[in-house]
């Protein structure tokens, strides 16, 4: 097996299954080196890519227009490739258990079109054991081939940070693993074609799977600690951001901040780890506690909104609340598992139906995911409360005169500003007389 050489000599192709925030940058990067088939079940998405439009905003329309990726929604085209990378989402169910339907579905598709001598690499986040215990049997059943004899398997967890223009695919060290020494080296050499930062080889697929869920669980726990501090400091009347900035002057401070922890990684991966641990008889204490804290931050922010409205002499049920941002993080159009939705849900319990503005989010996605009709910022007037929920550049760059223009014509002391991400200058806000609160 020498797929690395065959790819370079264009005797075979590489396929990328799942062209979302993770899969698309990988496909475009590899297309600069080898022939790439980009497959996705979503025909509308494929048509956008063919037209040179990037709905993810991860690499931009210009890169899509110039890429040599062969986009298709025809699964039979996968038979032209022998190196397959699966990068589909792995969400959770309503009961917080892993939803493996996407990765199982992708395994079925690849299995039906798998040929002898192929390597299949999974990038989707899973708990240790999924690749070997769940995916391999599907590939074997659908292909009629034997893993280890007719094809090889590997795992290389995705580490792409959506919306991050600094830490990109090429400059993030890639963890790689294979089912044996031969497949590990083949997989490592292929990824080294596009990963400038280099690859980190691990001894087994399970180690690679574990590394992914653990690195995100670690971040989740650290943010949960900061969120717990924020809730306590709020009761003490202490500004959390000022405390954190003071703490960060020490050389070994970790520089985490409180916030809403959503998205398809940090807000999901810990549940994958906990799920497998509980199957083995261990019940998590720290990880689940962190998840409980972070899952409750939307309600905490909503409570702060209500308190500030009351203190500003507003009739809560009649208050006009405007939420700025619905995506799970700044400068990213991804609305999946956004904890801003939890703020909205909690406000709904007080009969408040907030208006939601987000210049980055896809309106159709917001409607489909949360039943929210996004409005344009230009249409906002007579607001009682502005909630800066996501730190998009568009919101960070707003002038105070523009902010004031969104409120009604009443005294600034009755204008409530909730600054979840701490993007505004607190001193200026208070000098201008606003009723200001930040997490």
Catalytic residues: 265
In this structure, what are the phi and psi dihedrals at residue 374, rounded to the nearest 5 degrees?
-70, 145
Residue 57's Cβ-count burial label (10 Å; 0-12, 13-18, 19+) is middle
For residues 197 and 213, give the distance between their C-alpha atoms in angstroms, rounded to a whole number.
Answer: 21
CB 176 within 8 A of CB 201: yes
Which residues, including other chains, have CB under 8 Å from residue 222's CB and lie 6 or more apart?
A: 254, 256
Cα dist from 231 to 185, 215, 227, 258, 390, whole Å: 49, 25, 6, 10, 19
Which of the 8 DSSP states describes residue 82?
E
Alpha carbon 183 to chain centroid, angstroms: 29
Side by side, the strands of the sheet bearing 118-122 are: 70-72, 36-39, 13-17, 81-86, 118-122, 151-155, 174-178, 199-201
Which residues, including other chains, have CB under 8 Å from residue 248's CB and lie 6 or more apart?
A: 255
For residues 217 and 286, give the distance between their C-alpha atoms in angstroms, rounded to a whole number.
Answer: 10
């Amino acid at each position: 097996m020498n797929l690395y050489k065959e790819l370079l000599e264009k005797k075979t192709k590489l396929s990328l299954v799942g062209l979302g925030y993770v899969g698309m940058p990988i496909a475009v990067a590899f297309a600069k080196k080898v022939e790439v088939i980009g497959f996705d079940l979503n025909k509308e998405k494929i048509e956008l890519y063919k037209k040179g439009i990037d709905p993810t905003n991860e690499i931009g329309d210009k890169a899509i227009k110039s890429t040599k990726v062969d986009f298709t929604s025809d699964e039979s085209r996968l038979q032209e490739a022998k190196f397959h990378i699966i990068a589909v989402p792995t969400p959770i169910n309503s009961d917080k258990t892993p939803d493996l339907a996407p990765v199982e579905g992708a395994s079925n598709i690849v299995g039906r079109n798998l040929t002898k001598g192929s390597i299949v690499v999974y990038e989707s986040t899973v708990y240790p054991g999924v690749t070997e215990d769940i995916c391999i049997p599907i590939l074997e059943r659908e292909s009629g081939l034997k893993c280890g004899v007719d094809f090889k398997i590997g795992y290389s967890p995705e580490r792409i940070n959506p919306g991050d223009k600094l830490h990109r695919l090429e400059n993030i060290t890639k963890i790689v693993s294979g089912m044996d020494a031969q497949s590990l080296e083949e997989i490592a050499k292929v990824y080294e074609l596009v990963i400038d930062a280099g690859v980190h080889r691990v001894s087994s697929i399970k180690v690679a799977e574990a590394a992914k869920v653990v690195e995100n669980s670690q971040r989740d726990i650290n943010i949960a600690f900061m969120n717990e501090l924020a809730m306590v400091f709020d009761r003490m009347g202490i500004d959390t951001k000022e405390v954190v900035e003071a703490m960060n002057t020490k050389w070994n401070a970790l520089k985490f901040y409180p916030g809403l922890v959503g998205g398809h990684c940090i807000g999901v991966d810990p549940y994958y780890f906990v799920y497998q641990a509980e199957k083995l008889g261990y019940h998590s204490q720290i990880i689940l506690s962190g998840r409980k804290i972070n899952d409750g931050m939307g309600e905490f922010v909503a409570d702060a909104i209500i308190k500030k409205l009351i203190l500003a002499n507003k009739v809560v049920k009649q208050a006009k609340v405007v939420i700025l941002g619905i995506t799970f993080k700044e400068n990213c159009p991804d609305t999946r598992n956004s904890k801003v939705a939890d703020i909205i849900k909690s406000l709904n319990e007080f009969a408040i139906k907030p208006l939601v503005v987000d210049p980055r989010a896809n309106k159709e996605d917001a409607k489909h995911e949360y039943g929210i009709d996004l409005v344009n910022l230009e249409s906002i007037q007579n607001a009682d409360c502005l909630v800066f929920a996501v730190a998009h550049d568009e919101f960070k760059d707003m002038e105070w005169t523009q902010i004031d223009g969104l409120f009604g014509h009443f005294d600034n002391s009755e204008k409530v500003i909730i600054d979840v991400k701490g993007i505004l200058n607190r001193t200026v806000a208070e000098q201008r007389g606003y009723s200001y609160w930040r997490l």
